[in-house]
Amino acid sequence: MSEANPAFAAIDHATAQAHEASSHWAASTASERARLLRGLADVLEQNATALIALANDESALGEPRLTGELARTAFQLRGFASAAEAGVPYLQIDDAAAPGAPPAGRPRLTLVQVPLGPVAMFSASNFPFAFSVLGGDTASALAAGCPVIVKAHSGHPALSRKVFELAVAVVAQQGLPVGVLTLVEGASREAGAYLVRHPNIAAVAFTGSYQGGVALWRVANERPRPIPFFGELGSINPLVVLPGALANGVAEVAKSLAGSIALGCGQFCTSPGLILVFDDADGRSFTAALADALSTQSPHRMLTDSIRYGFDHAVGKMASHAAVRSLIEMREPRELHEAGDDSCAGPWPRLFEVEAAAFIANSDLHEEMFGPAALVVKVRSVAEVLQVLQAVEGSLTVTLWGVQQNTADNLALIRAAEQIAGRVLFGGVPTGVAVTRAQQHGGPWPASTQPQTTSVGYGALARFLRPVALQDAPDWLIAAKRGGTLS
């Protein structure tokens, strides 16, 4: 099959290279891994001007946003280098032997971490640097000792090729096997499924749509030997506005929230898409202010035609629902309308409103509108808020405004948020994910396929390590495993 399909043949070649490099990279020392990761960060920064211009041509995300994203990408590469040097991938738990009969007596047991092997990394459309060729998934897998096969995203192919070209030069300069980092292209789902199904692949990291992610997740689980699939599939990110949060007025908080909804044309997995507002005088004023603030936002064009189609379909479906009221009047596209071509126009922001009972009863209202749009849910009690959150199921984030006091209601809201989200915010907006040790970017299904793991932050490398208990192992082996010097 691969001989008749160039994309499949390229996948065969890349995975063979990764398989060949796997043992070498698994046995690499902390200093070797750190040197590579820092070299990759350096080459990004050395070529920042050209790379940002290229990324902007393909994505229209804007140079300020892309400049910050490239800086974040270099920062997290260096952060994973430091994690490797700190011994995180080489951590051991050593239980000394104890004399006597079980259960008190026991052999010596040493728990070590073993790299999974080659990781297929699916780049995301909305982060051309931070979730792409040298993004967090690549950095964390390399730090864990796993070769990476990057599946380039069709939304920024030229940038992906250029970043990869710079990266492989670093790999070569450091005398590492070419299979430590490879790249494949091919926009078809068949090519993606072929990569996931390939016997040389040991794990998959994916950031993208729910539909595409679920299809690949099924492939990973239907293999003769199923493999871990670490998928981030999207989220509607509820934001709860309690009455106390509006005590000092509605204008500024509405403006802040509108900016978050429209940030990056709403193409963030953490964009607040569900706003729970109490149906009282302040709540109604806040909703009106939010609609006004959002209507003045000017989102740029979306990343791809398919994303724009998906957004238009989602908001059209929402607008046509009998229980839903539109709060922002739909207008004609603002750009290129005279030329009869709306494909490059930024979409108008949209805001909708629905009663809590209708939202709870209609699962089709729970779907993500990936773009500058949100749904306001009118609630009348904390009990109703809890019912809405329960209906949401899994989410990357839940934001709670106004729970500063220790009350029974606030504790109930916090517990409900913890049950459905990987990150709970008590102020601000959910867009913006800090790269730290304490970060958790993942949530219960359908937000992610592995809610006990994170795809952002230094805990991400744990995804690509498997625990192995060594019983009565010789001291030389334990020492070699601890330093990553086993060859």
* Residues carrying an active site annotation: 232, 269
Side chain identity at 462, as an amino acid letter?
A
- Non-local (6+) Cβ contacts of 414 within 8 A are 400, 403, 424
Distance CA 97, CA 457 (A): 36
Which two tokens mark 364? 């089709």
Distance CA 457, CA 136 (A): 8
Pairing of β 93-95 and β 109-115? antiparallel
Characterise 62 by phi-psi region: left (phi > 0), alpha (psi -120 to 50), beta (else). left
Q: What is the Cα Rg of the chain in Å? A: 24
- C-beta atoms surrounding 300 within 10 Å: 20
Residue 371 burial (C-beta neighbours within 10 Å; 0-12, 13-18, 19+): buried
Helices (H), 47-156: 48-59, 63-85, 136-144
CA angle 425, 430, 436 (to 5 degrees): 75
**62 and 300 Cβ atoms separated by less than 8 Å:** yes
Side chain identity at 351, as an amino acid letter?
L
The helix/strand/coil state of 40 is helix
Closest to 391 (Cα-Cα) out of 353, 356, 422, 431: 356
The helix/strand/coil state of 276 is strand
- Non-local (6+) Cβ contacts of 226 within 8 A are 220
Distance CA 474, CA 68 (A): 48
